[in-house]
Amino acid sequence: MKLIWSSASPFARKVLIVAHELGLDDRIETVSGTGTPMAPAAAAKAGNPLAKLPSLTRDDGPPLYDSAVITQYLTSLADGQTLLPANGPDRWTVLTLEALGDGICESAILVRYEMALRDEGQQSQAWMDAQMAKVDGALDALEGNDTLASGFTLGHAAVGCALGYLDLRFPEKDWRSGRKTLATWYEGFQQRASAKATEPSV
C-alpha cells in the first residue's frame, strides 16, 4: 500500500499512527504529495480527485480517501483490533471523537491557509477568529470529555494529531491554559511509540 501524504498533515499522521498501533506500518510506503491548495502535487491529484491528502493506493482496489475512510479500512485488516468497535454505542462514541479531532484540524488548517496563502492586506481577521473560536470550543469540549481517559482508539489518535498540529503551526496559542486534564492526557499521548514515530515536521 502507498500513502500519499505530507509530513506536516495531521490527517496523514493520524493514518500512520493507526497503522503503527495495528502493526501495519511495515506494509505502507509513504509517497510525498506535498503541494498547496492552489498548486496541488501530481501525486495528490492522482490519489484523490479532490487533490487532498492523504489517500491510500491499494493493489486490490481503487484509492481510498479521506483519512476517516482510510483508518476504518486499516482496522478491517487487523483481526482483534480495539481501535474501532465493530458496532454498538461505543463505535459511535469513537467516531464522534474522531470527528471532533478532525474538526479542530480542519479549522486550524483554514487559518493556516489564510495566513500563508493570502497577502496580509487580503487576510480576514474575522474569518480567522471565527475558525479559532471553533477550535477553542472543541478544546473545551475535550477538556470535559470522559472518553479521553478510556483506552486508545481512532478518536484518541485524531485528537492527539490535532493537538500536535496546533503546537506545530500555532506555537503561540496557549491551548493548555485552563485545560489541565487535556494537557495531561496529551503528555501521555506523546509518549506512545506510535506518536513518537510519526512526529510532524515542516
- Note the pLDDT of residue 37: 87
Residue 200 and residue 8 in contact, taking contact as beta carbons nearer than 8 Å: yes
What whole-number distance in Å separates Cα of residue 172 and Cα of residue 184?
Answer: 19
- Note the pLDDT of residue 150: 85
Asked if residue 149 has pLDDT above 90, the reply is no
- Note the pLDDT of residue 26: 96
Confidence grade of residue 66 (pLDDT, cut at 50, 70, 90): very high
pTM of structure: 0.95
Asked if residue 6 has pLDDT above 90, the reply is yes
Question: Average per-residue pLDDT in the chain?
Answer: 96
pLDDT, greater one: 35 or 157: 157
Asked if residue 198 has pLDDT above 90, the reply is yes
Domains of the chain: 2-76 (3.40.30.10), 89-197 (1.20.1050.10)
What whole-number distance in Å separates Cα of residue 28 and Cα of residue 70?
Answer: 12
- Note the pLDDT of residue 202: 78
Residues 6+ apart with CB under 8 A from 113: 37
Residue 183 and residue 167 in contact, taking contact as beta carbons nearer than 8 Å: no
Asked if residue 80 has pLDDT above 90, the reply is yes
Q: b/e string for 63-90 if b means 16 or more Cβ within 10 A?
A: bbbbbbebbbbbbeebeebebbbeeeee
Confidence grade of residue 7 (pLDDT, cut at 50, 70, 90): very high
**pLDDT single digits (tens) 107-138:** 999 999 999 999 999 999 999 999 999 999 99
Over residues 154-176, mean pLDDT: 98
Over residues 187-201, mean pLDDT: 96
Confidence grade of residue 36 (pLDDT, cut at 50, 70, 90): confident
What whole-number distance in Å separates Cα of residue 22 and Cα of residue 9?
Answer: 20
Confidence grade of residue 201 (pLDDT, cut at 50, 70, 90): confident
Residue 158 and residue 15 in contact, taking contact as beta carbons nearer than 8 Å: no
Asked if residue 38 has pLDDT above 90, the reply is no
pLDDT, greater one: 147 or 2: 2
